[in-house]
Amino acid sequence: MRFKKTLLALAVGFGSTSLMAGSINVSKDINITGDFAAGGFYMVNDGGAGNEAIEVNDFGIAFDTGETKVGEIGFIGVLGSRTGHVVSDTTPTPTVGLSDSWALDFGYVTYKPTDMITLDAGVLLTTIGAEGSASVFQSNITRGMMWNSEPAAYAGVRASFDVGGTTVSAEVNRDGSQNGGVASTNWQINAGGSAGPVDYALTYYDGKDSQNIIDVLISTKVAKMDLTAYMDYYMVDDAAAGLDDSAMGFGLLVTPNLGKFDVPFRVEYVSDGTSGVYGGVDTATSLTVTPTYHVTDNSFVRAEMSYVMADNELFTDTDGEATDSQIIGTFQIGYTF
């Protein structure tokens, strides 16, 4: 659904003295893509105020040099504003993405010294989880319960090795998602590839003095349905006395493709006991359904309803009373180019 426009033989010369002296010459074609999405949000459990909003969820512009060939250096950089919601958020304040101001979403340079080796350095996208910060490219508008606990993007260096159809990568990063927002030096290994009709990825993330994660992602297509199953297992370093030192989450994304209509739905189950990894839910389940109409190949209109049930009464109903469930309704119009 993501269309590209290429600036052919781009060479921008600033020879006019009204601009600046000299010139900038770009010797390689640069692809420019973008996205924009906006819509409405309504949280049935409002905690007293601010339970509805009209929001710009996504506005992003990406620049990239396309596939990096052996012996070349390429790059990708995405600037944007990303805001959104997680189905288990306890307040209407957006928790997804960067901020409502323009910033670097992610971006890195790539060097490919051989057919088998690729080196990336910059702000990298995580290989953990089934969802990303840009809602316009996700099956659902909101993110699932596992989102707030997973890394998203961080400064790092990654080396990837293509071994017989399987890509194995190792990285060092400066990420704070597992350490209360305080960046630390962590390392990660990942293996991904295909086995027949099934794509898979397995990641181990070692957070320094914080939390370690094992993540499994499997996707395939059955008849006219896209299926993605995912699992996170957290191990908490030096958990306080009396608190659990592990947590686990499972999710399933199913998208029946009906021509111009899709009906994606997401089911999740998480269990964090007293560890607090998933916000102190103890155990919780969620269901999200997002009927989507594709107006064109690169534009859509969709609505969504999500329901969460948790053991602990984390939410607040319209009477100000604690409750163990929450409903969020959203709609969105999106466009990519």
Residue 321: the pLDDT is 82
Distance CA 229, CA 268 (A): 10
Structure confidence by residue, pLDDT tens digits, 162-221: 988 899 999 999 998 887 788 889 999 999 999 999 999 999 999 987 899 999 999 999
On whether the pTM is more than 0.85, the answer is: yes
Residue 100: the pLDDT is 55
For the chain, give the longest Cα–Cα distance: 70
Question: Is the confidence at residue 97, as pLDDT, over 80?
Answer: no
* Alpha-carbon dihedral sign for residues 163, 165, 166, 170: positive
Q: Which two tokens stand for residue 53?
A: 């909003």
Confidence of residue 101 (pLDDT cuts 50, 70, 90): low
Distance CA 281, CA 310 (A): 6
Give the H or E element holding residue 334: strand 325-336
Residue pair 310/281 in contact (Cβ under 8 Å)? The answer is yes
Tokens 């998933």 locate to 278
Distance CA 174, CA 14 (A): 38
Cβ-proximal residues to 259 (8 Å cutoff; 6+ apart), any chain: none
Distance CA 160, CA 169 (A): 4
CATH superfamily of 5-336: Porin (2.40.160.10)
Of 27, 142, 133, 42, the C-alpha closest to 80 is 133
What DSSP letter does each residue of 199-221 carry, written as one string?
Answer: EEEEEEEE-TTSEEEEEEEEEEE
Q: Could you tell me how many residues make up the chain?
A: 337
Each domain of the chain, given as residue ranges in start order, spans 5-336
